[in-house]
Amino acid sequence: MRKLAERERRAQATVDRILVRPEYRGRVEELMRGRWHEPVIVLRLDENVALGFDVPGRRLDGTVKGRRLVRRLFWNIARGVGGAAVNVFSLFNGGGVGNPFRREIRVTGPANAMALELLDELRSARGPWLVCSPSHLAVVDTGSTYVDPADAPPPRILWQAANPQGARISFRKRTITWPDGSTFTFPLHGDAEVRHLRNHHVPGCHPLARPSRREVSSRLSPRPGRPATGA
């Protein structure tokens, strides 16, 4: 069993390296360090996770209620009468085409929530990265990360915020919270990003995050193989 688990871990690591080439992370790090002049941590978000919204005025899939509904309805009816009933139910509840129950609620807040500024930009991203420094947050799009980096366009900043805007990040809960109470639970792109977060956490990132006692303790305690601060 242990050997099988190890083979699966290595196979997954190979897949992660193919889907998320390290050159892309380096490009985003270079871009945002140069812009902010601070250390940064860069995490690949999973654009394939179907984000669910619980925000007044938005459907479950995040689209604005009342817009393009008729066009979407007739398009899905045209695709086949057999699946029309499911698709109509899904459309009116914002679940998208197919399975109306597949979206997990990851975005919450009041009407016109502050979180929507980020989420509306994130919808178009093909290779989204979350970037955090001691005084900034950003989301950057590199495009698809499994193509040759030599053929990729330059990274593009989709959204960024500094201290006055008050967006707080919790790496432990994987949430970003805004002053109006709106939240975004961000999905990481597989176990490789979870390990990267554990191994490359930037102290003080984000200063408004208010880390838990456990997080503070982990920062003060040296990781195995690393000298203690000030040693």
Amino acid letter, 76: N
Q: Between the CA of residue 197 and those of 37, 122, 168, 189, what are the distances in Å? A: 20, 21, 17, 11
SS3 104: strand
* Angle between helix 84-92 and 69-78 (nearest 10): 160
Instruction: Output the pLDDT for position 60.
Output: 95
pLDDT at residue number 150: 87
Show the tokens assigned to 102. 């597949």
Give the chain's residues under pLDDT 70.
Answer: 68-102, 164-165, 201-231
H/E element, 224:
none
**Pairing mode, strands 104-108 and 51-54:** parallel
Q: What is the reported pLDDT for 27?
A: 95
Alpha carbon distance 89, 96 (integer Å): 9
The residue extents of the domains of the chain are 2-51+107-220, 61-102
What is the C-alpha to C-alpha distance for residues 18 and 12, in angstroms, rounded to an integer? 10
- On the 0-12 / 13-18 / 19+ scale of CB atoms within 10 A, 81 is exposed
Q: For residue 162, which amino acid is it?
A: A
DSSP state of 209: G
- DSSP-derived 3-state class of residue 86: helix
* 3-class secondary structure, 16: helix
Is the CB of residue 89 less than 8 Å from the CB of residue 78?
A: no
The tens digit of pLDDT for each residue in 142-198 reads 998 878 888 889 999 999 988 756 788 999 999 999 999 999 999 999 888 988 888
pTM here is 0.71
Beta bridge partners, 185, equal 175
CB 158 within 8 A of CB 2: no
| Residues making up the chain, counted from first to last | 231
> How many whole angstroms separate alpha carbon 201 and alpha carbon 35?
20
Question: What pLDDT, on a 0 to 100 scale, did the predictor assign at position 203?
Answer: 61
Tell me how many degrees the CA angle 123-118-50 measures, rounded to the nearest 5.
35
